[in-house]
Amino acid sequence: MLKYFQKKYAMSEKGARDLFYAILWTILMQLSFMAPVILGFKFLEENIQTIFNPANTSKPSIAYYVVMSVVLFLVMLAVSYFQYDSAYTKIYEESAKRRISLAETLRKLPMAFFGKSDIADLSATIMEDATQIEMLFSHAVPQIYAAVTTIFIMGTMMFFYNWQLSLAVFWVVPVAVLVFLLSKKFQDEMHQDLYNVKREISDTIQEGLDAAQEIKSYNREGTFSKSLNQDLDDFEKKMIRGELLAGALINLSYVFLRLGLPSVILYGAYLLSTSAISVFTYLVFLVVTARIYNPIMDAMNNFALLLYLNIRIERMKEMDKMPRQDGKTKFSPKNYDIEFKNVDFSYQDGVQTLNRVSFIAKQNDVTALVGPSGGGKSTIAKLSARFWDIDRGVITLGGVDISKIDPETLLNYYSIVFQDVTLFNSSVMENIRLGKKDATDEEVMRAAQLAQCDDFIKKMPNGYDTLIGENGEKLSGGERQRISIARAILKDAPIILLDEATASLDAENESKIQSAFSVLVKNKTVLIIAHRMRTVLGADKIVVVKDGVIAETGKPMELKARPGLFSSMLKAQYQNQ
């Protein structure tokens, strides 16, 4: 049973055990709530017998019923407390743990996962899905199991008491359940459909927010909001249509359930007229029938909710199954050479991006990755810091296979200066301090000076305390990159991954960035995606990448002298200048 819960509802072992206890206590609670009714009937039976049969002088003991009532009341209180504790407190604890574990999973997922499922979707899974599932396990699941068990127990007792009247009570249940199940398939499809549309809409909104600048600059606001409105309209129509149809089917099954009471009234009256049952039995069945359908309806409602949430649980299982990037957190490389040995890599199955890539980027050397666009330069640079895990071959840092090292530990050894610099809406000081959390203000300022940031920062209204706006929108491209270089200088990691700016910078910015680079790369292992002649020719080693394979490697002057891809690229660039 516990294993079943764990697997079916993607729960931890403790969570499954807590759910089991929550169900058990809910059953006990429902049974304890029935006990006073039974006691009441017993009391009535004894009194009615005295009314109908005056010869029977045995008086019921009032004291007995008073004591029993008090005892039952205390039992009900105690059981309710345990039910509440197990169904709410414990289940909410599980849910909090589930959120933390999802967040932990996210941290350990390879970057590849984030390409496929975007952030809006992931945060929806963590917050929204986890909240819905929390509700489900604290309310719906214990109630479904408890209702089914309680009704089974009550039904059996009633059949033993009077099987004919019990048939009149229960014939409606299988019919109603059948209609309900018929709607299940339809509801499943509808929910999956709606859920997908909803995800698409949040994706569109997220995309719109991310690309707000582009949408504005290309005057595409009208088109964007038109397509969003269209999606929202579709969603609304689908939802109304789905709700109406599902609602109609569910109501039909409720109508069947409601037919139970008239059946008991009519059939009971008939049995009474033939003296097959006593007035008391008739009364008992009328009272019970009036009450028994509500828990059945609740169970069906909860079951519908469970169907809806199945899709969410499946998605959580999907995330749990993703391969995680783990590894040792203790790591001491003997040097900072990066070596690729026969590395194969693909972003998607069937499309090989890198094919048997082998080269060494030596410590204290600048290794330049050059080659045509789309050849795989950025991929190589990112793989060297384990942004993704490779398909075949090995990448080592100081002789240690990086796939065996925890990604966060590994990243401590890298400074990454790419074009897509992420800046935060806080002060310039804090943005640079990101390179080294505990750096003093003096250290930050010194790094900024070395990265040639000092002059433009001092011109800002509040100097280092100026807020630089969401993603640094108040800064120019060259200034943003210099901030990111300052971060890297502050971090002072032994390996530098650099993506040289492709956008044309003005002469002043260009020369400042060059001097900032030269400070940054001193005595480091430098892997640079190079676009400019000056950088390419100044490198210690060139690795030419084309269509995912290494076309040539060597010193710049050697390659220049030799006919090949590099020399023809050089010629082409000179001709363009």
Q: Which of residues 86-145 bind ligand ATP (CB under 6 A)?
A: 115
Which range touches ligand ATP (CB under 6 A), out of 15-23, 129-137, 179-187, 377-385? 377-385
- With tokens 């666009």, the residue in question is 373
Q: Tell me whether residue 292 or residue 539 sits nearer to ligand ATP (CB atom).
A: 539
Q: Is the dihedral of CA 422, 424, 427, 429 positive or negative?
A: negative
Does 353 bind ligand ATP (CB under 6 A)? Our answer is yes
Q: Is 452 helix (H, G, I), strand (E, B) or coil?
A: coil
Does 373 bind ligand ATP (CB under 6 A)? Our answer is yes
CB of 354 to ligand ATP, least distance (A): 8
Q: Which of residues 330-349 bind ligand ATP (CB under 6 A)?
A: 347
Strand partners, 549: 546
Strand partners, 340: 359, 395
Which range touches ligand ATP (CB under 6 A), out of 172-180, 211-219, 271-279, 373-381? 373-381
Q: Which helix (H) or strand (E) holds 225?
A: helix 221-258
- With tokens 């199940």, the residue in question is 181
Which range touches ligand ATP (CB under 6 A), out of 12-20, 32-40, 375-383, 520-528? 375-383
Which one among 375, 407, 435, 556 touches ligand ATP, defined by CB under 6 A? 375
Q: Tell me whether residue 40 or residue 115 sits nearer to ligand ATP (CB atom).
A: 115
Q: Tell me whether residue 332 or residue 373 sits nearer to ligand ATP (CB atom).
A: 373
Which one among 40, 174, 323, 374 touches ligand ATP, defined by CB under 6 A? 374
Q: Could you give the residue ranges of the DSSP H alpha helices within 162-220?
A: 163-170, 172-210, 212-217
Which range touches ligand ATP (CB under 6 A), out of 271-279, 280-288, 368-376, 455-463? 368-376
CB of 362 to ligand ATP, least distance (A): 21
* Interaction mask 235-274, ligand ATP, x per CB under 6 A: ----------------------------------------
Q: Tell me whether residue 14 or residue 532 sits nearer to ligand ATP (CB atom).
A: 532
Q: Is the dihedral of CA 230, 232, 238, 240 positive or negative?
A: negative
Q: Tell me whether residue 183 or residue 353 sits nearer to ligand ATP (CB atom).
A: 353
- DSSP summary character for residue 523: T
Q: Is 376 helix (H, G, I), strand (E, B) or coil?
A: coil
Residues in the chain: 577
Q: How many residues bind ligand ATP (CB under 6 A)?
A: 10
Does 379 bind ligand ATP (CB under 6 A)? Our answer is yes
CB of 527 to ligand ATP, least distance (A): 12
Does 352 bind ligand ATP (CB under 6 A)? Our answer is no
Which one among 260, 327, 333, 376 touches ligand ATP, defined by CB under 6 A? 376
Q: Tell me whether residue 358 or residue 378 sits nearer to ligand ATP (CB atom).
A: 378
CB distance 324 to 109 below 8 Å:
yes
Does 363 bind ligand ATP (CB under 6 A)? Our answer is no
Q: Which residues contact 221 (CB under 8 A, 6 or more apart)?
A: 215
Q: Tell me whether residue 313 or residue 354 sits nearer to ligand ATP (CB atom).
A: 354
Closest CA relative to residue 496, chosen from 368, 400, 376, 334 = 368
Which range touches ligand ATP (CB under 6 A), out of 8-16, 182-190, 304-312, 372-380? 372-380
- Name the pairing type of β-strands 338-345 and 354-361: antiparallel
Q: Tell me whether residue 419 or residue 426 sits nearer to ligand ATP (CB atom).
A: 419
Q: How many CB atoms lie within 10 A of CB 391?
A: 13
Does 386 bind ligand ATP (CB under 6 A)? Our answer is no
CB of 115 to ligand ATP, least distance (A): 4
Q: Which of residues 272-301 bind ligand ATP (CB under 6 A)?
A: none
DSSP strand E in 215-337: where?
A: none
Q: Tell me whether residue 115 or residue 469 sits nearer to ligand ATP (CB atom).
A: 115
Which range touches ligand ATP (CB under 6 A), out of 148-156, 226-234, 283-291, 369-377? 369-377
Q: Tell me whether residue 90 or residue 377 sits nearer to ligand ATP (CB atom).
A: 377
> CA-to-CA distance for 145 and 43, rounded, in angstroms?
31
- Using CA atoms, how far residue 189 sits from 179, 195, 308, in Å, is 17, 10, 10
> CA-to-CA distance for 313 and 107, rounded, in angstroms?
20
Instruction: Give the 3-state secondary structure of 542-576.
Output: EEEEECCEEEEEECHHHHHHCCCHHHHHHHHHHHH
Q: Tell me whether residue 111 or residue 130 sits nearer to ligand ATP (CB atom).
A: 111
The distance from CA 37 to its chain's CA centroid, rounded to whole angstroms, is: 46
CB of 576 to ligand ATP, least distance (A): 16
> CA-to-CA distance for 150 and 127, rounded, in angstroms?
34
CB distance 290 to 250 below 8 Å:
no
Does 377 bind ligand ATP (CB under 6 A)? Our answer is yes
Q: Which residues contact 27 (CB under 8 A, 6 or more apart)?
A: 145, 146, 149, 150
Q: What is the dihedral of CA 296, 302, 308, 310, to 10 degrees?
A: -100
> CA-to-CA distance for 351 and 358, rounded, in angstroms?
19
CB of 114 to ligand ATP, least distance (A): 9
Which range touches ligand ATP (CB under 6 A), out of 120-128, 370-378, 463-471, 519-527? 370-378
Closest CA relative to residue 295, chosen from 394, 157, 154, 430 = 154
CB distance 335 to 503 below 8 Å:
no
Binding site for ligand ATP (CB under 6 A): 115, 347, 353, 373-379
